[in-house]
Structure formats: C-alpha cells, structure tokens
Amino acid sequence: MRVLKFGGTSVGSAEAIARVKDIVASLKDEAVVIVVSALGGVTDRLIRMANMACEGDEACISELQLIINTHEELINNLFESENAAEVRALVSSEIEELDTLVKGVFLIRELSRKSLDRISGMGERLSSRIIASYLGANWYDSRNYIKTSFEFGRNQVVYEKSEQLLSKLKGSLGRLSLFPGFISSNGKGESTTLGRGGSDYTASLLAAAFDADVLEIWTDVDGFMTADPKVISRAYCIDHLSYSEAMELSHFGAKVIYPPTIIPAYRNKIPIRIKNTFNPSAKGTLISEQSESGARQIKGISSIKDVTLITVQGIGMVGVPGISMRLFSCLARVEVNVVLISQASSENSISMVIDSSRSDVAVRAIREEFKPELDKKQISRIMQEDEMAVIAIVGEKMKQTTGIAGQLFNSVGKNGVNIYAIAQGGSEINISFVIKEKDLRKALNAIHEAFFLSQYQRLNLFLAGKGTVGSKVLDKISTQAQKLMADNRLRIRLVGIAGSRSMILNREGLYPDTVIQQLEKEGVPGCINDFKNKIIEMNVANSVFVDCTASEEVADIYLQLLEANISVVTANKIASSSSYQHYSRLKRTAAEKGVKFYFETNVGAGLPVISPINDLVRSGDRIVRLQAVLSGTLNYIVNEMSEIKPLSEVILEAKQKGYSEPDPRIDLSGTDVVRKLLILARESGYKLEQEDVEVEPFVPVEYLSQPSLEDFMEKVKELDELFEDRRQRLYLEGKRLRYAASLEDGKAKVGMVEVDKTHPFYELEGSNNIILIWSENYNLHPMQIKGYGAGADVTASGVFADIIKVANV
C-alpha cells in the first residue's frame, strides 16, 4: 500500500486535480490512501477571514462568499452538471457550518482557539469531499482517527490512540481511500488541527499506522534541492536523504516537508518519496533510513534570513551555573523560539539567533531577567544585530570526516564574508553559522560551488574599458569559453561592463559578442564610481574586476574593490606606478583579503616579464641590474621612420596599429616607459618613486605641452626633419636609435641610446620589446625576454592569462 499526500498547489485547480487523477490511475490495482490539503491559499484565507470577523470587519462576509465561490467553481469545472449538484449537496453542510461560525465570530467579536481550529480546518474538509468524489475514493473523516490533546500551547497528537483507531480501520480500507489532511479532534470530539505542515503529518501518521510501503509527498518541486533554487540557479535535486538529513534541511528553510511530520514515518521506517505533481516523471527525492553509499559528504545547504543575532556578554557569566537556564527560560516565557545557540568555551558570551520579528521582545525580556547583573556590570552588554542570516550545511557523511569545516569557511572567507557565530551539534550532521543577510546570496553561491560544483569553477568578470584592448578581451572570453570549460573546468562569465559614461550589470551573465552594442543601447548612465558601488552591492562570489582603460579614476577604485574581496586584473599601469605607498598597499590588501592583484601586461604587454621577476625574487635570487626597451610604440617609430615616412606619420601609424597609449604623448614623453621601469624595479625589490627616474623625453617637452592632441600632431611635424637627419647619420655609422630603460646601482633612467650591431638592442624589429635581467644567478649572461611589446591581441592574451591565473587552474 502507498500513502500519497497532495499539497495545496497540487490540488489548487481543476487541471491540477486532473493530474492527481492520472497519477492515482497509473498505480493500477495497488491500494492507495490519499491525503489532501486545502486548495492552494485557502487555509490562509480562512484564518484571515476569521480574524476579520473577530475585529468586526464586515468584509469578512464577502471574503466568506469568495471562499465558497472558489469551491463552487472547482465543482463546476470538475463535474458534469448532474454530478456537480450531488457534490454541492455533499459539501453543503460544511458550507453552512462555516457560514454559521464566521457570522458567530463576527457577532460576538471573539475568536476562540476552538472556533479558529474549526474554521481553519474547513479548507481540507471541503477539498477532500470534492476530490474524493472526483477520484471515486472512499472518504474518511480524519477527525475520527487522529486524536489530539492540548499541551504546551498546541495540539499534540495522541499517538497510541490514533494508531489504535487507524489500525482498526486498516482491514476495511478499499482500493482508494481519501482523508483530509491537517484536521483532527480532541478527547471531547471537538475539531482540532495539527498546525503548520499538518497535512504532511496526517499522511505520515496514516503511512505509519497502515504500515505503508512508501509515503509519497506530492508537491510543486522536484524534491529537495542542493540549495534554494531561487538563489542558486544551478541547484539540483538530491536523489537520496536520510531521515535526519531531511529533518535538518527542512528545519532551515527547505520547505519541502515540515520536520515533525517525518517522525511517524521515521519511527516505522517507512520510506518517504518527494514527487512533483507537475513533473511526475522526475525521480524526486527518496528519504529513508540510510543515505546511499558513495553519497557526497554534504547533501544540501539550507538557509534562513530575517533573523537577529543576540549576544549576551560579560565576565560575570563565567563559571556561574544557571545563566543559560535563566536566559532560555526567560525567552520561552515570552514565546521566543531560539534557532541557533553558540557559546564560547570561555563562557564569556552566549550568542543566539531568533526571528527578527521577536527581537525587541527578546532583548527586553533578557534585560529584565538580568537586571541585577547588568546593574553590577557583571553582564557588560546585550548586543542585538538585525538583518542577519543563518546557513546550514547538512550531511550524515560529515561525521568523522576531517576538512569539511575548513573547506566551508575557506569558501566563504575568501569571498570576504564575515562569520558572526558558528554552531555544530555533536551529531556532526549539520554545521550552521551566522552571517549578514546582505552576504547570503554570495555565501550560498560560494559554498554551493565548493561542495557541489567542484567539477568546475566560475569567475565572474566586471570589465571597464571596451576600446582597443577591452574589445579583444571580450573576443577571448567568447572564443575560449568552451576550451576552458573542457580543459580546465573553468567557466568565465561576464557579469558587468562599463564604458566611460554608462554601464550594464547582470548577475546571470552578459553575452561578450554583443555586449558593446547592448551597452550603447541599454547602458545605464553612470561613472566608474557608480560601477564600483554596484559591483560591491551585487556581492557575487569569485568576482574579478578587469581594467582595460588608461584612466586614473578607474585605477583609484582598486583599493575599495580589493577590500571588498574582489580580485583586480589590470592592463592600466597607473596604479602600479603611483606612489610606492599606494602600490604596496594594493598588494598588501590583496594578500590580506586572499584575492589577486595582477598586472602582468603593464610591462611588455603579453610577454611574461613580471612573473619571471617574481619567481627569481621568491626563489632567493637578487636582481642587480635591468636594461630594456619597453616601448612598443617608440621602437616601432624608430624602426619604421624612413626618408619617405616621417616621424609624424609613423606616430599616427603606431596609434592606428593599437601600439600607442590612447594619448600617444604618454609614449612620446617617456612617461609610459618610466611607469614600466618603475614597476619592474619595484617588483625587483627597489623602493622607487616616479621622481627617482631620470627621463630624457623622446620629443622635447615644449612639443608635448600643446593644448590638444591635434595641436600636438600638427606641431610635431616640425621634428620630422631633425629625426630623419639623425636616422641617416646613424645609418652611416652602422648604428640604430633605441629608447631604453635601465636600472643600475639602484639608479633608474630612461632615454635615447644609439646602439651598434654588437648590442642586443640592435636587432629589435617592429614594436618588439626586450628585457635583460642580471641577477646574482644570472650574472655573466642576463636572462633575456624578447617579443611583441604592444598590440591589442597580445595584450588581451596577457590580460586573459592573468584572469585565468586568478582561478588558479
């Protein structure tokens, strides 16, 4: 025999009830006991109406009529007219009783517990009558079999009596029997109800008493999910849970089943299967005594919000017996339910989590109870922190397994989520902890990823700048996505983009192929600071900010991003070449927060320069000298100038080819090379500032100080002849002009050098760069790094490599 329970949404409409009929029909000859809830939303409406009646609100009468209409409409939709009349007659006594009750409450303005029980249980009485007729099932009044007594402020099931009555009935049940859920009666035969989740409870009691093969809870979800699917889109259905795991998950937010309802089935070892009425072919979740072997250590994550953390603190609590008893007794007296308790072994403080709606009442009760201790300063403070959330991870296999807590707290910690209190029971089946509610989504994502999706990692990117380099980075995100997923189990997702005036953010992801057009059409106006605020507010796990601008304003937001546990990858050299103090603060913040600050493309574009230097330094080598050509633009200019292509023309060409800075004067002044040399020197261990670098600009300063780029481009033509003369002279001397950078004896210098064939800089084509590194180990022969030193493609590759490095795959 099976017991099937259908909840409110499963019987919420004629179509849904027709599905129920199909489900029952598919069981062919098997004996089936069905339990139904009230039609979706009806119980709440009944309770609301009862309260309205009690307050003398006349609208309760029209609400009563609406509730009656809901049921009449259902009868009309389910039955032909003749049968409909019969069913209407069948429920007429319930409707009359409801009418009398509501009008009675309205008249006397009093709603006793007894009346409320009768009114609120009417939904099941009505729905069960109608559905039993529709299914052709024998109808049984649960009130005759499920007995309660009123204890501890609520109706408690009298198990033995109920079991005895149900066992007697068992032998006479036909193939299809139907019981209303939720309703019961007391020793005097008065109607009572079983409280929240009551219909599940009815079904569980019947399944236990009838010794059913299985109890099926039919609802509107596929089963227990690994996490709340409204928050974690990648949450999936759990195949199998133990009774304890299901109870733990239900306790904290997974409202698939109400915890106490599991107890009768659990005691009689009746397996429970959660099924979806609207997707009956889905396997659902099986709940039984044993979790299947080989199952994950963590089965699910549940969470609740709208809770308050109360902490009672004071040295006067240490070693004093009875403090906890007084604390929890005073809360019980004002009917405050405690969700989580945590006490440090020093006994100096006790923290507890309660529903926020009761927090003021709770704090008042604690203050009153501990007034003497507060007056004597034995208790120093009672802290109330609202807008908190609790997360619980659940799994039987956590028992005796090391490293779970480490993995859990590492996943939230590296995303900057602070933990306020932790609780783990001795059963080791649940670890619960308290965080700020604003961090809930991020923490759930991080934990879900760590425990359930470890088959792949996800990075969420926010990109600033969609110009020469930025647009190529978008291409890479698009073209490399599949390969990274297949080879590295890494999913890179663009979740935000900003241009200089507008932005788009979407936590579900943006399409890199079309995002630039989307930004033009739908971009929300705002500056980079607005973008930063939105990124921090969005609070997504594993976030990386990618800077492909040349803007100081953008460089200025890194610190706040790093402080918010967001990694930064940047092609923009401004931050790393700002004051030494700021540069080192950025690096220190990243290290403290466990996030990354990568800027490999700042020197040599796509060439690996910074990481080999880091490797040398970390391995104990000491860099003593650097010589380099670090400007792709300037090297291109000196290589490409000729008698038919003057300086001014080649400058334009370098810009068009994507080698120069957005403003080429940054290259021509030597500033770009100064920045690069400074970064190399700092990464090599030298504490230098920009002012410490001796600079000979590529073009004289008076040319650079033109009011606009256009004016400059016009004026620079005056230098064409001078540069051509120098080129010709050098050609005759067998030499070439290079714009070089050097660090020797701690002194940094950039400027022009003339090199002959013997010099490693002589053969340096196009926009190539070369970096020679002398160290204690590389002394006679320097380490040499050479290759394209500018250009959109190579730079975008370098930026992309840094992004992948953040994921550490």
Give the residues lining the site for ligand LTNE7NMQ (CB under 6 A): 605, 631-633, 659-661, 667, 672, 789-790
Output 134 or 659, the one with its CB closest to ligand LTNE7NMQ.
Answer: 659
| Interacting partner of 551 out of ligand NAI, ligand LTNE7NMQ, none (Cβ under 5 to 8 A depending on kind) | ligand NAI
Q: Residue 5 catalytic?
A: no
Q: How many CB atoms are closer than 10 A to CB 580? A: 16
Output 572 or 684, the one with its CB closest to ligand NAI.
Answer: 572
Output 374 or 654, the one with its CB closest to ligand LTNE7NMQ.
Answer: 654
From residue 425, give the alpha-carbon distance in Å to each of 326, 563, 805. 22, 33, 38
- Placement of tokens 């006679």 in the chain: 780
Output 407 or 478, the one with its CB closest to ligand NAI.
Answer: 478
Whole-angstrom distance, CA of residue 487 vs CA of residue 302: 32
**Residue 62, SS3 per DSSP:** helix
Q: Which of 489, 504, 499 is nearest to 456 (CA)?
A: 489
CB of 219 to ligand LTNE7NMQ, least distance (A): 59
Name the phi and psi angles at 786, rounded to 5. -145, 145
**Residue 682, SS3 per DSSP:** helix
| Interacting partner of 572 out of ligand LTNE7NMQ, ligand NAI, none (Cβ under 5 to 8 A depending on kind) | ligand NAI
The sign of the torsion formed by the CA atoms of 728, 712, 690, 546 equals negative
Output 565 or 635, the one with its CB closest to ligand NAI.
Answer: 635
Residue number closest to ligand NAI, CB atom: 467
Residue 741: strand pairing partners:
628, 750
| Interacting partner of 284 out of ligand NAI, ligand LTNE7NMQ, none (Cβ under 5 to 8 A depending on kind) | none
Environment class of residue 33 by beta-carbon count within 10 Å: exposed (0-12), middle (13-18) or buried (19+)? buried
CB of 586 to ligand LTNE7NMQ, least distance (A): 19
Tokens of 489: 């189990």
Whole-angstrom distance, CA of residue 782 vs CA of residue 111: 92
CB of 483 to ligand NAI, least distance (A): 24
Q: Which residue among the candidates 676, 717, 747, 757 is catalytic per the annotation?
A: 676
| Interacting partner of 3 out of ligand NAI, ligand LTNE7NMQ, none (Cβ under 5 to 8 A depending on kind) | none
Helices (H), 342-467: 359-369, 371-375, 404-413, 440-452
Output 98 or 605, the one with its CB closest to ligand LTNE7NMQ.
Answer: 605
Output 273 or 665, the one with its CB closest to ligand LTNE7NMQ.
Answer: 665
Interface contacts to ligand NAI, rule CB under 6 A = 464-470, 498-500, 528, 548-551, 553-554, 571-573, 601, 605, 632, 658-659, 661-662, 790-792, 795
Contact 765, 639 (CB under 8 A): yes
Angle at 772 between CA 766 and CA 776, to 5 degrees: 170
CB of 635 to ligand NAI, least distance (A): 12
Q: Which of 117, 130, 141 is nearest to 12 (CA)?
A: 130
Cβ contacts of residue 7 below 8 Å, gap of 6+?
Answer: 37, 199, 200, 217, 218, 219, 220
CB of 469 to ligand NAI, least distance (A): 3
CB of 511 to ligand NAI, least distance (A): 18
Cβ contacts of residue 717 below 8 Å, gap of 6+?
Answer: 646, 648
**Residue 391, SS3 per DSSP:** strand
Whole-angstrom distance, CA of residue 637 vs CA of residue 624: 30
| Interacting partner of 465 out of ligand LTNE7NMQ, ligand NAI, none (Cβ under 5 to 8 A depending on kind) | ligand NAI
CB of 650 to ligand LTNE7NMQ, least distance (A): 12
CB of 635 to ligand LTNE7NMQ, least distance (A): 8
Output 259 or 664, the one with its CB closest to ligand NAI.
Answer: 664
Cβ contacts of residue 62 below 8 Å, gap of 6+?
Answer: none
Active site residues: 676
